[in-house]
A and B are shown apart, each in its own frame.
Chain A
Amino acid sequence: MSSQDIPEENLPAEQDTPHGAVKVADEAHPFADPGLPPHEHRIQDIDERAAKRSERTVALLFTVSMLATIGFIASYVTIPVDRSVYIFPIGHISALNFALGMTLGLALFCIGAGAVHWARTLMSDHEIADERHPIEAPPEVKAKVLDDFRQGAKESALGRRKLIRNTMFGALALFPLSGVVLLRDLGPLPGTKLRHTMWSKGKLLVNMNTNEPLRPSDIIVGSLTFAKPEGLEEHDHGFQTEIAKAALMLVRIQPDDIKDKRSLEWSHEGILAYSKICTHVGCPISLYEQQTHHALCPCHQSTFDLADGARVIFGPAGHALPQLRIDVNEDGYLEALGDFDEPVGPAFWERG
C-alpha cells in the first residue's frame, strides 16, 4: 500500500515538517489519530443479485445440514452394527460408525459454515469504534458513596448496639460450619484398610490363569506367574477391591543370584513373591525382564531389581516393592506366611 492510498488527514502530523526539525504539535499525542480506513462496499452491498446468491448459498448450507441430520437418523436405523465396508485411505471400517460420523460431522459443519458465510457476506460490515474511558469513578461519585456509607453506618448504630453487632458476627462466622460438617459424607475414613491385604498365614497361592494352587515345581527359573490368594474368586463381590491390593507376581531366580539376604530368606528356593502394585501411584507392574531380573512399570518407568529385594533402580517410585513371605505347606503347595509386612502400593500421608 503506497502513501497515496492514505487520505491526507490520516498521515502522521510531522509529515510536513522539514527533516531534522521534528515539530511536535501536542506533547501528549505526538501522532495524529489515523482513524478508520474509508468503508469499502462488498459485491453483495452493491449488487442485489450477488446478495441473493449469497443468501441462497447460506440456505443451501443449512439445508445440507438438515439432510445430513436426517441421514444420521436414517443410518442409525438402517445400517446393521456388524456391517463392514472398505473406504479407500482408511481401509475396512464399520459402515455404521463411518456413516454416523460423516453425517454428524457434515450436519454440524454446515451449520457453522452457513453462519460464517452469512456474517461475512450479508450482515453489516461497518466497523464501529467504541471509545474507552478510564475505569476510575469521578471524585464526586466517590465522595457520594463514602458519604452514603458513613450515613448508613451511623443509622444502623452498629458501633453503639454492641449486642447486635456481636451476635451478627457470631451468626455469620458459624454459618459455614454446616458446609464443613457435610464433608463427613465424603466417606468413612480408610482406617487400617490401606495397611492390610487378603493375605494371611496359611493362605495358598492360586494361579490366576488356571485357578489352581501353585506348587514350587510349577514355577521354573525365568518364568513369570501371577497369583491371587486362595478363596478370592473373580465373580466375588469386591474382587477388584481385594485384588487391587493382593495381586502377586511370582518369579524364580537362582538362589545364588539373589543379592538381598532377607529377600532370599523370604523366598522358597528362589521363588520370590512380590506385590504387583507399583509403589509410585499403584499401576500394575509386570514388565519383567527375565535376564536382568528388572521389573518395569509401564506408567512412569519406575524400575525395580527383583534380584535385590525389588529395590528401586530408576524412576519416581519411593520404595521397594513389598515382598510376601512364602513357604511350602505339608501338601506341597505354596502358602503365605502372613500378610505383607508393609502397606502395598503408593505411599499415603500416615504411611510412615
Chain B
Amino acid sequence: MKKLSARRRHPLAALVVLLLALACTGGLYAVFSPADKAQADETAQSLTIEEGKKLYSVGCASCHGTGGQGTSDGPSLVGVGAAAVDFQVSTGRMPAATSQGAQVPRKKAVYSQAEIDQLAAYIASLGAGPAVPTKEQYGPEGADIAKGGELFRNNCAQCHNFTGKGGALTHGKYAPTLEDVAPKHIYEAMLTGPQNMPSFPDSTLSEQNKKDIIAYLGEVNGEETESPGGLELGGLGPVSEGLFAWVFGLGALIALAVWVAARTAKAKKS
C-alpha cells in the first residue's frame, strides 16, 4: 500500500485512475443493461421526440403553431411525416426567412442532421406520414435507368425540364433545378410534394419507379454526366441555343462579310 501511495503523484496516475473508473462503469453497465434494453430504446425515442419538441417550439412554432396545427403564416404539419421535415429542413427551405415571395428558395441548412432527426421524430409523432427513405430505397442498385427516363419524361419533365434543369411556373414560382440535389431529397420531394409540387405517392408511382427516376437523374444530371454535344448552354433547349446562334453565329458572319468587302490593300497609300 505504501508503494501505491508513494506513486500517487506520478504524472500518469490520473490517467490510470480514469481508465479504472471507465472500466468499472462499463462493466456495471454491461451487467445491468441487457435486462431492459427495449425500455432504454423507447426512452431514447421519447427523448428524441422531447428534444425535437424543444427545437420545434423555438424555431418553428411561430408559424406552424405550438402543436403543429398550423397558423395563417404556415400550414399544419400534422401527418406530413418525417420525410417532409427532412426534405424541408435539410435543403434549408425551412425555416423560411419570411412567408413573403413567390416561393421559399433552397438555402444553407440551419440545423444539423441530428437536430433534423429530432425535429422529424417530433413531427412524425403528431400524425402518421411518410417516413424518411432508406439508402436501399433511393440508391442506384437494381434501378432501370431507361424506364426511369420514361417515367421522368411522363411525370416530371413538364416542370423540371428533360434533364432536370428546372423551369418557370406562374407568378414568379419555378421548378428548381435538380442538379446537386441529394437522391434522398429527390425521393422525399416525390413522396411529399413540397410547396406547389404535386406529390407522387407510392400508390401511383411505386418505390421501384422512384428508384428508376433517381437513377436516371444520376445518369443525365450527375457529376460524371458526359455531354457528347459539347457546350451545353445550360441545357435549356432552343431558347439559349437560339440566342447563342443569333448573337455569336450571326456576329461571326457579319464580321466575315465586313472582311470580305473591306478595301484591298493598295500598292500606294492614298
The answer to whether B228 touches A219 (Cβ under 8 A) is: no
Residues in A with CB closer than 8 Å to B268 are 40-41
Contact of A289 among B154, B169, B204 (CB under 8 A): B169
Within 8 A of A (CB), among B168-197: 169-170, 173, 175, 193, 195-197
Residues in B with CB closer than 8 Å to A226 are 154-155
Within 8 A of B (CB), among A90-124: 90-94, 97-98, 116, 120-121
The answer to whether A97 touches B199 (Cβ under 8 A) is: no
Residues in B with CB closer than 8 Å to A125 are 264
Residues in A with CB closer than 8 Å to B205 are 209-210
Contact of B228 among A40, A84, A116 (CB under 8 A): A84
Within 8 A of B (CB), among A186-229: 207-210, 214-215, 217-220, 222-226
The answer to whether B265 touches A42 (Cβ under 8 A) is: yes
A130 within 8 A of B: no
The answer to whether B198 touches A251 (Cβ under 8 A) is: yes
The answer to whether B204 touches A287 (Cβ under 8 A) is: no
B227 within 8 A of A: yes
Interface size on B, residues (CB 8 A): 36
Within 8 A of B (CB), among A40-88: 40-43, 45-47, 84, 87
The answer to whether A210 touches B204 (Cβ under 8 A) is: yes
CA distance A116 to B105 in the complex (A): 55
Contact of A45 among B201, B267, B270 (CB under 8 A): B267
The answer to whether A298 touches B158 (Cβ under 8 A) is: yes
The answer to whether A217 touches B170 (Cβ under 8 A) is: no
Q: How large is the interface on A (under 10, 10 to 19, 20 to 34, 35 or more residues)?
A: 35 or more
Residues in B with CB closer than 8 Å to A217 are 203
Within 8 A of A (CB), among B198-217: 198-201, 203-206, 209
The answer to whether B159 touches A41 (Cβ under 8 A) is: no
A296 within 8 A of B: yes
Contact of B199 among A40, A47, A223 (CB under 8 A): A223
Q: Which residues of A contact B (CB under 8 A)?
A: 1, 5, 40-43, 45-47, 84, 87, 90-94, 97-98, 116, 120-121, 125, 207-210, 214-215, 217-220, 222-226, 251, 284, 286-292, 294, 296, 298, 301, 303, 314
Known: A120-B260, A224-B155, A289-B173. 18 other contacts (CB 8 A): A40-B267, A42-B266, A47-B267, A84-B226, A94-B226, A94-B230, A125-B264, A209-B204, A209-B205, A219-B204, A224-B198, A224-B200, A284-B158, A287-B158, A290-B197, A292-B170, A292-B196, A294-B170
27 chain-A/chain-B pairs, Cβ below 8 angstroms = A40-B268, A41-B268, A84-B226, A87-B230, A91-B230, A93-B230, A94-B228, A98-B230, A209-B151, A209-B209, A210-B205, A210-B209, A215-B203, A218-B203, A219-B204, A222-B193, A223-B193, A223-B201, A223-B204, A225-B200, A251-B198, A284-B158, A287-B159, A289-B173, A290-B199, A296-B169, A314-B170
